[in-house]
Structure 1
């Protein structure tokens, strides 16, 4: 399982981020909640491809609907390296009660607006 490194994640976000160790631990705990028998290895991702285009032991990749093109690009790179393509599993994005995409940016924005509204009251 890949989790964005602090450097890679902070280059793409304007809001504060939890440290890599905490984000990786959260992913691990969630996966073990879903299936305690899972054997999970979590690696930091320093770019959009991570180890997926190099590692011959990988056979699938899970991505959000919006990042499927990145998974297709990974498979092109794998083919150029003589590796088998990864099976791509696209996971639906989680939405809020209004149908808007739920993301760390949206959550931080909501928290900031809520805090600002409380301080103005």
Structure 2
């Protein structure tokens, strides 16, 4: 378990078909952060991934889930892979999946160019489905697995 507590932590994603991988990512952010800023990809940005629920739906689902557990978060819309982390000095860390770690590295490069302090990058490993393949929204949309990673027969 990670013991470091940061004041302000960023985490972002599409969060379509909110699944156990998303839960692990967000739970990690709350474990290490006093305040968690959650970016949800906009409809235009998310459309690159295929047929996803609307941004409002995805943000609403997240808010409904999290507001039962936490009160120290803010959800906003993301129009690019970097969000406010490249403009706002006050972030301390970013939580990413193995898949999105390159975005966090790029964020730190942009921050360095602007004379901002780098973010600590916390990488969360994939949650595997019952077949040993990572749980993903794409696989859920394809009807191969459910949000828990259980195979659909």
Aligned residue for 1:3? 40
Deviating runs (4+, > 3 A) in structure 1?
29-33
* Alpha-carbon distance between aligned partners in 1 of 2:95 and 2:124, rounded to the nearest angstrom: 7
- The structure that is strand-richer by fraction is 2
Is 1:99 equivalent to 2:132 in the alignment? yes
Report deviation, 1:55.
Answer: 1.0
Q: Bigger radius of gyration, 1 or 2?
A: 1
Aligned to 1:57: 90
Aligned residues, how many?
107
* Partner SS state of residue 110, structure 1: coil
In structure 2, runs of 5+ residues without a counterpart are 1-37, 145-153
- Structure 1: state its 5+ residue gaps: 112-121
**1:87 matched residue in structure 2:** 120
- TM-score relative to the length of structure 2: 0.64
User: What is the distance in 1 between the residues matched to 2:119 and 2:66?
Assistant: 21
For normalisation by structure 1, the TM-score amounts to 0.79
Which has the bigger relative contact order, CA under 8 A and spacing at least 6? Answer: 2
What is the RMSD computed on CA atoms of the aligned residues? 1.6
Which structure has greater helix proportion? 1
Q: 1:28·1:40 contact (CA, 8 Å) conserved in 2? A: no
Q: Where do residues 1-40 of structure 1 align in structure 2 (5 Å cutoff)?
A: 1-10=38-47, 12-14=48-50, 16-33=51-68, 35-36=69-70, 38-40=71-73
